[in-house]
Amino acid sequence: MRWKPDPTFYASPKHAMDAPAEKLAYVALLNPGHDRPDAIGVVDVDPESAEYGQLVGQADMPGIGDELHHFGWNACSSHLCAYAPAPHMERRYLIVPGIASSRIAVFDTKQDARRPELVKVIDAQTIADRTGYTTPHTTHCGPDGIYVNALGGVDGDGPGGVFMLDHETFDVKGAWEVERGPQYLAYDFGWHLGQDTMITSEWGTPNMVKDGVNPELLLGGKYGHALHVWDLRKRRHLQTLDLGAEQQMVLELRPARDPSKAYGFAGVVISLEDLSASVFLWYRDGTNGTSVWKTKKVITIPAEPAAADDLPPLLKGFGAVPPLITDLNLSLDDRFLYVSCWGTGEMRQYDVSNPFEPELTGSVRIGGIVKRTPHPARPDQPLNGGPQMVEISRDGRRVYFTNALYSPWDDQFYPDGVKSWMAKLDISADGGMAFDEKFLFEADAGMRAHQVRLEGGDASSDSFCYS
């Protein structure tokens, strides 16, 4: 218990942008070979350190075969919200789900930030018994607890949904939904605390995704293609926003950071019409009492022509490499949106000051299914994988990203095996970005880097109740 709020909690996004620079990054390291545990790696991101860009600590998972995905902090700035105050909480525990094992590990970073200590394991059976869910995927700290989404039910089919953990004891509290409505598929979730609204997205059930992309399901438009709007307090489904069955796999969600704004961005992996990828804007239209939520496609990124011999078997018949948008992130000032194109090996920066008309302000290339673009630090070393999970520093001046997606899908799109790395971009105040040529973390052979969290918080670790 603390007598004063955690100094990493901030009342608003603007205040959070003045936070001290991060010195450590926590990185999910996956072992698809299942000959050793997955781990949370600790990477030095302090440019003044002699160990800059190196692995300086590691905490192994308690078993083998977890397939770590989107972990998060137990506590965050949302604990300062007046309607659910918990300022005594500390941002000290990492909540780490495994989508293959369906268990959740809790690591304490307080005693030694470089060597997180395993303090609790929530087993798959406990989660299933108390929620009806399996395959936990993403965690977010909310004002009234830790929210975790799950891809499906205990049989590997749907529905997927959200469940909650107590943010002090980490006990499983139960499924979140009271009235589910038509929602069946699940993936990411985010909220507008100022509007008491949650938004969820769709990927597929565990049985639909665990063995890789199923061409029959994909071409049949069976993967997720909708957003869902919920009443956050009443836990009730309000509206379905269908983007069209051709828009396959609506994955990452990035709501506006300013809680007074009622819009956000959703990434769509692939279009069945032309292999393009896209970003949709969701927004509330109208006044209180008569408003409805709507969507608009605001970014389209086309596929790039490629020779069949350069493509993996899954793509040979198309003669092109799709961008495959697999992650997005939004700076705390709601100005810059970063878009990961895992297929083509491109990271894009858009100025979204006007969210309805994004402007492309920067682009870098690294890896990619066809181009295998090297990092400036190793100009003679072709890299595979591509920009994937992306995280932004609180001040918006640094962007970190990794190159591994999900083991069964990695192996389909990069059949020669993803050799994993993490890169960093330096961001100009008025737009534009460039590689930090001194920073290239390369994971040990057999390990793949995925989600990144920054010490003290980052652009996607917090929710705010005040502008």
Instruction: Concatenate the DSSP letters of all residues of 317-348 into one string.
Output: GGSEE---EEEEEE-TTS-EEEEEETTTTEEE
Residue 118 located in a structural domain: yes
Mean pLDDT of 148-160: 97
* pLDDT tens by residue, 97-109: 999 999 999 999 9
| CATH number for 394 | 2.130.10.10
How far is residue 223's CA from residue 73's CA, in Å, rounded to a whole number?
Answer: 29
How far is residue 258's CA from residue 219's CA, in Å, rounded to a whole number?
Answer: 38
Its pTM surpasses 0.95: yes
241 has which bridge partners? 227
Residue 244 located in a structural domain: yes
* pLDDT tens by residue, 401-450: 999 999 999 999 999 999 999 999 999 999 999 999 999 999 998 999 99
Residue 463 located in a structural domain: no
Classify residue 324 by burial, with Cβ atoms within 10 Å: 0-12, 13-18, 19+: buried
Classified as helix, coil or strand, 292 is: strand
Residue 8 located in a structural domain: no
How many Å is the Cα radius of gyration of the chain? 20
Residue 4 located in a structural domain: no
Residue 2 located in a structural domain: no
Alpha-carbon distances, residue 377 vs 26, 37, 219, 242, 399 (angstroms): 22, 30, 40, 43, 17
Which segments of 224-262 are extended strands (E)?
226-231, 236-242, 247-255
Domain region containing 403: 13-454
* pLDDT tens by residue, 171-229: 999 999 999 999 999 999 999 999 999 999 999 999 999 999 999 999 999 999 999 99
Residue 189 located in a structural domain: yes
Confidence class for position 84, pLDDT limits 50, 70, 90: low
Tokens of residue 394, six digits = 């609180």
Domain count along the chain: 1
Residue 5 located in a structural domain: no
Judge whether 65 and 116 are in contact, CB under 8 Å. no
